[in-house]
Amino acid sequence: MPGKWISGIMAVMLCSTILLAACSSQDNEEQAPQTPAANSDSSGSPSESGNAPDEPAADPLGKYEEPITVTQVLGFAPPQDSKTPKGLTPEKNGYVLKLKEMLNIDLKYLWTVPTEQAEQKFALTVSSGELPDVLSLSLLDFESFRQQGQLADLTEAYQKYASPTLKKYLESDGGRTLDMFTYEGKLLGLPSYEDPFMSSQMLWIRADWLDKLKLQPPTTLDELEKVAEAFVNNDPDGNNKNDTYGIAMNKELISWGFDARGLFYSMGAYPKAWTKGSDGKLIPGEIQPETKASLEKLNDWYMKGILDKEFAFKDIDKAVEDVVAGKVGITFGEWWDPEWPLNLVKEKNPKAEWMALPLPSYNGKPGMTLVPGLRLNWVVSANKEMEHPEALVKMANFYHELGLPKYKDENKPENGFVYNWYNPRIYNPLNIDDLYTRVNAALKANQDTIDSENPEAPKLFEQAKKFLAGDTDPTAWGFYNSRVNENGGWGLTRKIKEEKKFVYNEFYGTPTATQVERGSSLGKLTDETYLKIIMGSGKTDEFEKYVDSWKKLGGDEITEEVNAWYTERQ
C-alpha cells in the first residue's frame, strides 16, 4: 500500500514551501548541476512497465513540434555568483532560453518576487485557485494538495520519459522514497531527497589541544568527560587565562548544529524522534529513561563548567562565535563542519587542528547516531489541469542534460545561467559519496587532473591537491577535511554506515492530527523542562512530572497516531 502511510489529518499549511527549490542555498556544493557516474537504468516500481514491446522508446528530451507553455511561480534570491550579468531576470535565465531552444517549451512565470515575499504571494495564489502547472512543494504542502485532489498522475509520464539519469537518482534507494509519493498506483510527485546519512552525528575535537595536554582521543563517554575537563582547567590555548570551556552548546538542545544531539545519541536517547521499541512499536524518545540519564549527564557537565554557564541564553550564532574565537575545543557535529565554521577557526589560528571521531561509547555500547527515515528537499508535482504533464519530466531531464561536460563552456553564471532559479531540479542523493570516491581514486593514482562526468569533481580535486601540497588556505583545508579525507567528515560518515552504528528515526510522514494541534505546546514543555534539569533549577522528580504531563497533554494520542501510520505502511 505505497503512499497511503504518508497520510494524516492536517491543517492546510500551504505558505511554507513553494519555492523551497527556488530559494534554497544551503549546501550549494551539492546543488550545482550534477551528472551520474553511469547512465544505467533502474528498475524501481514506477518505471517497471515502460513502453510496450512494439512501441519505439520515447525521447526523454524530445522536442515538441509546436511550442507548448508551462507555467510556474518563483520566489528568488539574487544570483550567488558575482560573475552573473547585472540586471539578469528569471525570465532571461539561460536555463529558460535553452529550454525553449532544445525542447520548444516556453516557461512562463505567473509571478516572480523576492524570496521574502514568496510565502504571502503564494498564499494569495492558492486562495485565487489559479495554480501554476509546476509546483515545488514541501511534504506538508504536497499532502494538502494531494488530499484536495489537485495533483496530476505522473506515472505514465515517468515510465515513458524519465531519462536513465533521472531514474538513477530517484530510485537510488530502491524506489523507497519514490513509493512514498505513489498513491493507489499513481505517482503524484518527483522527490528531491538526500542521503539520510548526511545527518550522522560525530565529535569534532581540537587535536592541537589534545597534543598540548598530552591526551589521547576519547573513545568512551568517561574519556570524553576527562578531556573536556582538561580543556576547561588546563589552559589548552596557552594564554595563561581561565577562558576556555569543554563542549559547545546552544539553547536549542536539538537543532541543526552545536547542540546536544550527539550526547543524547551516545547514551542511547533519541528525543524528538521515534525509534522501534522492544515490542516492535514506535516509542517517543522524549520520555524514555535514557533521555533522563542524558539530561542528568548534561547537568553534571554544566556544574563542572564543561558547558558554558551562559549556553541557555545563546543561539547557534553565539555558540559558533565561541568556537571561532577559540574558547571551546569540542563540538558534536556533522560531516560538513570543516567547511563552516571550523575553517574560520583555521583562518584565525592556522595552528588550530580539528579531528573527527565517532560518537563515544557508553556502558560498553557504541554510540549510535540517529538517521532520518527521509531527508527531503522538496517534491515537484504537476497541477492536475496541466495539459502536458510529461513536460515536467522532460524539464527534469533537461536540467541533468545541461550538467554534462559538453555544456560546461556554455552553462556558466557569466553566460546568464542561474541554476537555482530553475525548476524542477532533482539532485543526485549520492552525489557527495560519488565525489568522495572519484576524487580519492584520482589522488591515489597520482593524477594531475581529473576527467569526471561529475562537474563538481575538478574543483574538489584541485582544492584537495592544494591542501595536500601544503597550502594553508582555510577553504582548501575545509573542503579536504569534510569531503575527501578518509578520516574526515564524510570518510567517518561512511564508516558509521558500514559499521551500522546508527538507528533510524522510523516516523517520517506528515504530522498527525494531534501533532498539528498540540505539537508546539508539547515542544515548548519539552524544551523548558530539559533546560531546567540541565541548569539544576528543576526538582529531582522534574522529569517524571514532565513525562506525566507530556502524555496527558497529547503525547499518548500522538503515540497512537504515529503507530497507526507505522502499522499501515508495513
Cβ contacts of 143-151, under 8 Å, gap ≥ 24: 143/6, 143/7, 143/8, 143/10, 143/510, 144/10, 144/12, 144/13, 144/14, 145/14, 145/381, 146/183, 146/188, 147/7, 149/384, 150/383, 150/384, 151/188, 151/189, 151/381, 151/382, 151/383, 151/384
The whole-number mean pLDDT for each consecutive block of 10 residues of the chain, a chain of 570 residues, reads 36 43 43 37 46 67 98 93 94 98 98 93 92 93 92 98 97 90 96 96 99 98 99 97 97 96 99 97 98 97 97 96 98 97 97 98 98 94 98 98 91 95 95 96 96 85 97 96 98 98 94 92 97 86 97 98 92
Predicted confidence at residue 9, as pLDDT, reads 29
Predicted TM-score of the model (pTM): 0.82
Buried b (16+ CB within 10 A) or exposed e, 72-99: bbbbbbebeeeebeeebebeebbbbebb
Q: Which residues contact 556 (CB under 8 A, 6 or more apart)?
A: none
- Per-residue pLDDT, 442: 97
Domains of the chain are 15-48+66-194+375-421 (3.40.190.10), 199-371+505-569 (3.40.190.10)
pLDDT at 537: 77
Please, which residues have CB within 8 angstroms of residue 524's CB and are 6 or more apart in sequence?
Answer: none
Cell of 297: 549527564
Residue 89 is predicted with a pLDDT of: 97
Q: What is the pLDDT of residue 21?
A: 53
Q: How far apart are the first and last CA of the chain?
A: 8
Query: Residue 143 has what pLDDT?
Result: 87
Question: 3-state class of 563 per DSSP?
Answer: helix
Tell how far CA 35 is from the center of its chain: 19
| Integer angstrom CA distances of residue 353 from 172, 292, 338, 349, 480 | 36, 34, 10, 9, 13
DSSP code of residue 154: -
Pairwise CA distance, residues 529 & 368, whole Å: 25
The pLDDT, as a whole number, for residue 56 is 61
Q: Please give the grid coordinates belonging to residue 252.
A: 536549542
pLDDT at res. 516? 86
